[in-house]
Amino acid sequence: MAVTGQVVEGGFGDPVFASQSVFRAVMDAMARPGTVQAIATDAMPPAPLNAAAAAVVLALADSDTPLWLDAELAKSEAVRGWLAFHTGAPLAGTPSDAVFALAANPAAVPPLTGFALGTQEYPDRSTTLIVQVESLTGGPVLTLTGPGIETTQAIAPRPLPGHFEVQWREINGLYPRGLDLILAAPDAVICLPRTARIGNEEL
Amino acid sequence: MTIGTDDGLATYNFAYLDEQTKRMIRRAILKGIAIPGYQVPFASREMPMPYGWGTGGVQVTASIIGPDDVLKVIDQGADDTTNAVSIRAFFAKVADVETTTETAKASIIQTRHRIPEEKLKDGQILVYQVPIPEPLRFLEPRETETRKMHALAEYGLMHVKLYEDIAKNGHIATTYAYPVKVEDRYVMDPSPTPKFDNPKMHMSDALQLFGAGREKRIYAVPPHTKVVSLDFEDYPFEIQTFEEPCAMCGAQGVYLDEVILDDRGGRMFVCSDTDYCEKRREDGHRGHLAGDAMEAAE
Q: Which of B56, B77, B211, B246 is catalytic?
A: B246
pLDDT at B86 over 50: yes
Determine the pLDDT at residue A203: 41
Read off the pLDDT of each residue in B84-99 and give the average, rounded to a whole number.
95
Cross-chain residue pair A124–B41, CB shorter than 8 Å: yes
Which of B66, B185, B224 is nearest residue A149 as measured by Cβ atoms?
A: B224
Residues of chain B with C-beta less than 8 angstroms from the C-beta of A123: 35, 38
Q: Residue A30: in which H helix or E strand, if any?
A: helix A15-31
Cross-chain residue pair B33–A32, CB shorter than 8 Å: no
Measured distance CA(B37)–CA(B228) in Å, rounded: 12
What are the backbone dihedrals phi and psi of residue B199, each rounded to the nearest 5 degrees, phi first? Answer: -60, -25
Q: Is residue B105 part of a domain?
A: yes
pLDDT at B6 over 60: no
Domain interval for residue B276: 256-297
Residues B274 and B194 in one domain: no
Residues B138 and B54 in one domain: yes
Q: Is residue B126 part of a domain?
A: yes
- Chain A residue set in contact with B, beta carbons under 8 Å: 15-17, 19-21, 23-24, 26-28, 30-32, 59-62, 64-65, 99, 119-124, 126, 128, 147-150, 175-176, 178, 180, 193-195, 203
Domain count, chain B: 2
Nearest-neighbour CA in chain A from B112: distance (Å): 22
Nearest-neighbour CA in chain A from B108: distance (Å): 12
pLDDT at B8 over 80: no
Cross-chain residue pair B1–A16, CB shorter than 8 Å: yes
Nearest-neighbour CA in chain A from B21: distance (Å): 10
Q: Is residue B238 part of a domain?
A: no
Cross-chain residue pair B226–A147, CB shorter than 8 Å: yes
Cross-chain residue pair A120–B34, CB shorter than 8 Å: no
Where does the pLDDT of residue B12 fall: very low under 50, low under 70, confident under 90, or very high at 90 and above?
A: confident
Read off the pLDDT of each residue in B78-102 and give the average, rounded to a whole number.
95
Q: Is residue B249 part of a domain?
A: no
Cross-chain residue pair A176–B28, CB shorter than 8 Å: no
Determine the pLDDT at residue B143: 96
Determine the pLDDT at residue B4: 45
Under 8 Å between Cβ of B273 and B279: no
pLDDT at B96 over 70: yes
Measured distance CA(B259)–CA(B189) in Å, rounded: 28
Q: Which CATH number do you get for residue B71?
A: 3.40.50.11310
Under 8 Å between Cβ of B124 and B118: no
Q: Is residue B234 part of a domain?
A: no
pLDDT at B129 over 50: yes
The count of other CB atoms within 10 Å of the CB of residue A122 is 16
Nearest-neighbour CA in chain A from B178: distance (Å): 21
Which of A99, A120, A147 is nearest residue B225 as measured by Cβ atoms?
A: A147
Where does the pLDDT of residue A199 fall: very low under 50, low under 70, confident under 90, or very high at 90 and above?
A: confident
DSSP calls for A46-89: PTTS-HHHHHHHHHH--TTS-EEE-HHHHT-HHHHHHHHHHH-P
Residues B50 and B156 in one domain: yes
Q: Which of B77, B211, B213, B277 is catalytic?
A: B277
Where does the pLDDT of residue A1 fall: very low under 50, low under 70, confident under 90, or very high at 90 and above?
A: low
List of domains in chain A? 2-198 (3.40.50.11310)
Residues B22 and B143 in one domain: yes
Nearest to B285 by CA among B272, B270, B298: B270
Q: Is residue B277 part of a domain?
A: yes
Interface test with A, best of B16, B31, B108, B203 (most A CBs within 10 A): B31
Q: Interface pTM (ipTM) of the complex?
A: 0.96
> Is B246 a residue of the active site?
yes
In this structure, of A83-92, B6-15, B92-101, B109-118, the range with the lowest mean pLDDT score is B6-15
Determine the pLDDT at residue B295: 54
Read off the pLDDT of each residue in B244-272 and give the average, rounded to a whole number.
94
Cross-chain residue pair B35–A99, CB shorter than 8 Å: no
Cross-chain residue pair B66–A195, CB shorter than 8 Å: no
Residues B222 and B293 in one domain: no
Residues B74 and B116 in one domain: yes
Residues B197 and B271 in one domain: no
Residues B289 and B221 in one domain: no
Tens-place pLDDT, residues A137-185: 999 999 999 999 999 999 999 999 999 999 999 999 999 999 999 999 9
pLDDT at A202 over 50: no
Residues B104 and B206 in one domain: yes
Read off the pLDDT of each residue in B71-75 and give the average, rounded to a whole number.
97
Nearest CA in chain A to B33: A31
- Chain B residue set in contact with A, beta carbons under 8 Å: 1, 13-14, 19-20, 22-24, 26-36, 38, 40-41, 63-67, 147-148, 150-152, 183-186, 203, 207, 220-226
What are the backbone dihedrals phi and psi of residue B280, each rounded to the nearest 5 degrees, phi first? Answer: -65, -40
Determine the pLDDT at residue B285: 94
Determine the pLDDT at residue B241: 93
Q: Is residue B276 part of a domain?
A: yes
Determine the pLDDT at residue B298: 46
Tens-place pLDDT, residues A55-76: 999 999 999 999 999 999 999 9
Residues B80 and B154 in one domain: yes
Residue type for position B67: P
How high is the mean pLDDT of chain A? 95
Interface test with B, best of A21, A27, A203 (most B CBs within 10 A): A27
Please give the residue that has the higher pLDDT: either B259 or B4: B259
Counting every residue written for chain B, the total comes to 298
Which of B24, B148, B222 is nearest residue A31 as measured by Cβ atoms?
A: B222
Boundary residue ending a domain (B176, B194, B229): B229
Measured distance CA(B191)–CA(B176) in Å, rounded: 8
How high is the mean pLDDT of chain B? 93
Residues B97 and B181 in one domain: yes
Angle at B250 between CA B249 and CA B252, to 5 degrees: 125
Residues B266 and B218 in one domain: no
Q: Is residue B237 part of a domain?
A: no
Read off the pLDDT of each residue in A88-98 and give the average, rounded to a whole number.
97
> Is B37 a residue of the active site?
yes
Which of B22, B151, B224 is nearest residue A147 as measured by Cβ atoms?
A: B224
Read off the pLDDT of each residue in B208-228 and give the average, rounded to a whole number.
98
